[in-house]
Structure formats: structure tokens, C-alpha cells
């Protein structure tokens, strides 16, 4: 199992010097457990501001960069780009990645919670990893800011880094076309800080 786990995080480790960036080292992926684990959405003010949507699956955090962030409006299909798998302890990371390092910029934990794999209840059940292979992931989020069903639908590029997806809110009790959570609720659910405060806190250390 160790070799497989190392392989899952090889891209993560190859892209960054965690001793300089302050990010979790990600020495190995955790053993794969059942679907329905944690999710986290991190607000990341790098070269461009975006939101990193991450689902625990297969012992790692499956990750997408969402430039405009998630929406609660089912009519708003958000473009998402798949990125490298991240270690599970990245879900708690909040701080400043130094300029010049990969992904340099300020990161805060914008939302977090648990999720249910909706495709696990289908007539032909699929794990999240199997759903990724098929290009359609459907989850129900139990977050502090976001609740309800979301679909990730692949539109181009296979199941690999830089493949293109859409993040779509399902029509359920959590849908609200009037709500704009990325603008009305900008702060961290972990520390209550905004991006400027996270950056200032890093400067104080």
C-alpha cells in the first residue's frame, strides 16, 4: 500500500518545498477509507484569487481550483480545473505561502465539513474514485457555509491534472439564487480572519 500512497502524493511533493512554504509535508497518503469523509474549500489569493475545492477520497484530498468559487445558484455553472491530490492534513492549512514558492499567496479555510457520496446510493453504486473515472461526482455537503448537493462534471481532459470540470449546485433546500456566499461570507470558518488578517498574522511571526 505504501508505494501506491507515495504515488498519489508525488506530484504534490514534487511541486513544492514544504520546508519553505509552510504547507503540510504530505509524507504519505492515509489508508483509503469509506467515502463520505471531509471536504474543505480554501480561499487562495495566489497570482489570481480562487477557491480550492477538496474532497477526501482514497486517502487523499481530491482537488479542483474554482476561479469564481462555489455558487448556491443552480443556474451558475462554475468552471473548475483539477489539480494534484493533496494530503489530508492540508484541510487545516491556513497561512501565507511565500512569494516565489509554488502557489505563493494567502490561504484561508473558507468552508469545511463532511460530505455524503450521492452516487454510492445509486442502483449501480460508485465510490468517489470510480465517479471521477466516469467524469461525474455527486456529493451532499454538510458545511458551515454550504449545504446540499453539488455535482462535479468533467467537460474536457480526462481524469488528470488540468482537466476541465464544472461545479454545479443541485436544486434542493440548499439552493438559493439570491445568496452570494463568496462575497457576503468572506472570512475563515477556522479562525474568523479575512485574507488581510491571515497575511498580517504571518508577518507578525
Q: Any idea which residue has 482537488 for its cell?
A: 63
Q: 62 burial class (0-12, 13-18, 19+ CB within 10 angstroms)? A: buried
Distance CA 11, CA 91 (A): 17
DSSP H helices, the chain, are: 2-8, 10-15, 18-21, 128-134, 181-184, 195-203
Output phi, psi for 70, to 5 deg: -70, 155
Q: How many CB atoms lie within 10 A of CB 68?
A: 14
Contact, 55 vs 146, CB < 8 A? no
Residue 166 has pLDDT above 90, yes or no: yes
Give me the pLDDT at residue 23, please: 97
Per-residue burial over 115-128, b if 16 or more Cβ lie within 10 Å, else e, is bbbbbbeeeeebbb
**Residue closest to 141 by CA, chosen among 181, 101, 103:** 181
Please say if the pLDDT value at position 29 is more than 80.
no
Residue-wise pLDDT for 78-126, tens only, equals 999 999 999 999 999 999 999 999 999 999 999 999 999 999 989 999 9
SS3 205: coil
Query: What is the grid cell recorded at 111?
Result: 468552508
pLDDT of residue 7: 84
Strand runs labelled E in the chain: 38-45, 49-57, 60-66, 78-86, 95-97, 105-117, 136-143, 147-156, 164-169
Region of poorest pLDDT, from 48-52, 68-72, 131-135, 158-162: 158-162
141 beta partners: 115, 148
> Average pLDDT of 122-146?
95
> In this predicted structure, what is the pLDDT of residue 185?
98
Percent of the chain's residues with pLDDT above 70: 91
User: What is the model's pTM?
Assistant: 0.92
Amino acid at each position: 500500500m505504501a508505494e501506491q500512497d507515495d504515488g498519489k502524493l508525488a506530484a504534490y511533493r514534487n511541486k513544492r518545498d514544504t520546508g519553505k512554504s509552510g504547507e503540510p509535508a504530505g509524507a504519505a497518503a492515509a489508508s483509503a477509507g469509506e467515502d463520505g469523509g471531509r471536504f474543505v474549500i480554501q480561499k487562495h489569493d495566489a497570482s489570481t484569487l480562487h477557491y480550492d475545492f477538496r474532497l477526501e477520497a482514497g486517502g487523499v484530498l481530491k482537488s479542483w481550483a474554482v476561479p469564481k468559487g462555489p455558487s448556491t445558484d443552480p443556474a451558475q455553472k462554475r468552471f473548475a480545473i483539477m489539480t494534484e491530490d493533496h494530503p489530508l492534513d492540508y484541510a487545516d492549512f491556513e497561512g501565507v505561502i511565500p512569494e516565489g514558492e509554488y502557489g505563493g499567496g494567502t490561504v484561508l479555510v473558507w468552508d469545511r465539513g463532511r460530505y455524503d457520496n450521492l452516487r454510492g446510493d445509486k442502483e449501480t453504486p460508485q465510490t468517489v474514485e470510480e465517479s471521477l473515472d466516469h467524469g461525474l461526482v455527486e456529493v451532499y455537503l454538510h458545511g458551515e457555509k454550504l449545504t446540499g448537493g453539488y455535482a462535479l462534471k468533467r467537460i474536457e481532459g480526462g481524469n488528470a491534472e488540468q482537466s476541465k470540470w464544472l461545479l454545479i449546485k443541485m436544486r434542493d433546500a440548499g439552493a438559493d439564487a439570491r445568496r452570494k456566499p463568496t462575497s457576503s461570507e468572506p472570512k475563515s470558518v477556522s479562525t474568523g480572519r479575512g485574507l488581510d488578517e491571515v497575511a498580517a498574522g504571518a508577518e507578525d511571526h
